[in-house]
Amino acid sequence: MTHKNYYITTPIYYVNDKPHIGHAYTSLACDVLARFKRLDGYDVMFLTGTDEHGQKVEKSAEAAGIDPKTFCDRVSLSFRDLAKTMNFSNDDFIRTTETRHVTAVQALWQQLVASGNIYLGDYAGWYAVRDEAFYQEDELTDGPNGQKLAPSGAPVEWVKEPSYFFRLSAWGDRLIKFYEDNPGFILPTSRRNEVMSFVKGGLKDLSVSRTTFKWGIPVPGDEAHIMYVWLDALTNYITAAGYPDTESATYTKFWPADLHMVGKDILRFHAVYWPAFLMAADLPVQKRVFAHGWWTNEGQKISKSLGNVIDPLKLIEEYGLDQTRYFLMREVPFGNDGDFRKAAVVGRINSELANGFGNLAQRTLSFCAKNTNASVPAPGPLNDADDALLAQADSLIEQMRASLDEQSIHVALQQWFDLVDAANKYIDVEAPWTLRKTDPARMQTVLWCLLEAIRQLAILSQPFMPQASAKMLEQLGVSEAARSFAHLGEPGRLRAGTPLPTPQGVFPRHVEAVASV
């Protein structure tokens, strides 16, 4: 059997400020998918990192009174710390200031020059420092005091300087054909339509170098120029895969990447510019770009000026790590914008985790502790209700796999919770507390079916809530060697007589602290 490989990336995060919920959300989605694939037998490479060049970083460092590299070291560390705190399982963390990356970007530049796709000219146009992006006149709006604004709301300034250009205009038809030949390349579908419309509207050549600042990677052979930050940044995905050594084990195994996960604001760079760069360098194009939405906070747009930026570390402190992970992946249809509301967090924690999954496990395991000698009971003949519950449990992996292969993370969690719901209804209908007196053999069968459903729920919740799921599996007596998806269904069925440790609650209810008067 051919070994299955999977390469997933977050965007590399810009180091002009500390991490916020948007960074945590994107990386969490990638972590869930990476963990799921590993449990499903894939050899996974999960990459994240920081984007450290450009005028915005140079200005932020200057404002902080330190040199750009020291500034980058400091802020990049905060993103590494976030990854540890959120329990992300990334295999690599790339920084664009690393030697391996400088080597890769300069090699890509030389390939683009050799293929006739880069030429020297003069650039004059509107540039937004905040976005590190150039904009056309018809994309701008008028702001206060005659200031022109980019679509993002960032102020723009007129820039005129010598510049190298990438022949993006030559790639429009080939990009359209690529999108048509690969309909799953951009998801969600609404985003694909936006990109198709943009490209069909006509592409202009792209300025890919600057001379008015110095914090960046020098253009090979012309060090008066540094490379445009997006050509630099996007190359990180192949740097980490081993480029420019396209014969290396890592590159041949993992490139092209299976999925670039991005926020919707940077879709154009990943779905238009990056494929064009790769095609022009005669390199394989990534398989998919998924653009997710943005969060608001209690109905308001998140901004520093409003003081409502959501700190993921504070969420973890208040609600717990796995509870926070579950909420962020469960609350919003993945790909859409979503609103963060404290009441919604508490509602998910209490109704679905505490009362739903947690209570199901706690009452089943507590009942076994008292009535089946603290061990897995021996099942007798199964009836239709038992078969239905087990069939739903056994088919859950196929449903969740199909959903996550389309990055429908919220759908996968709904499918998971549907089994929680079904098991809770089953225990209420079968009432093992009554069977204990009327039909002890039937009670054992019901408890075994419940434990088996809980086992599969715990295995399948590992990508979302790794620590809580591990605690649940320990209480079921499931060894670490038996927690992969290969043990779902018949191959991993609980064996009668397996000792069950003393049950302990895994998902406590969240009670808001009441301020003392």
The Cα–Cα gap between 294 and 124 comes to 32
C-alpha dihedral sign at 47, 48, 50, 51: positive
The Cα–Cα gap between 428 and 421 comes to 11
Return phi, psi of residue 204, to 5°.
-105, 155
- Reading the block at residue 378, the tokens are 């021996």
Residue with tokens 């924690």: 349
Burial of 113 (0-12, 13-18, 19+ CB in 10 A): middle
The Cα–Cα gap between 446 and 442 comes to 6
All structural domains of the chain, each given as residue ranges with its CATH number in brackets, are 5-293 (3.40.50.620), 341-492 (1.10.730.10)
CB 445 within 8 Å of CB 380: yes
Q: pLDDT tens digits, the chain, 517 residues: what are they? A: 457 999 999 999 998 778 889 899 999 999 999 999 999 999 999 999 999 999 889 988 999 999 999 999 999 999 999 999 999 999 999 999 999 999 999 999 999 999 999 999 998 889 898 887 888 888 999 998 889 999 989 999 998 889 999 999 999 999 999 999 999 999 999 999 999 999 999 999 999 999 988 999 999 999 999 998 889 999 999 999 999 999 999 999 999 999 999 999 999 999 999 999 999 999 999 999 999 999 989 988 887 778 888 889 999 999 999 999 999 999 999 999 999 999 999 999 999 999 999 999 999 999 999 999 999 999 999 999 999 999 999 999 999 999 999 999 999 999 999 999 999 999 999 999 999 999 999 999 999 999 999 999 999 999 999 999 999 999 999 999 999 999 999 999 999 999 999 999 999 999 876 544 4
Q: Are strands 300-301 and 295-297 parallel, antiparallel or unpaired?
A: antiparallel
Report the pLDDT value the prediction gives residue 124, as an integer from 0 to 100: 85
Report the pLDDT value the prediction gives residue 220, as an integer from 0 to 100: 96
Report the pLDDT value the prediction gives residue 513, as an integer from 0 to 100: 65
What lies within 8 Å, CB to CB, of 398 at 6+ separation is none
The Cα–Cα gap between 407 and 428 comes to 34
Please give the single-letter amino acid code of residue 509.
Answer: R
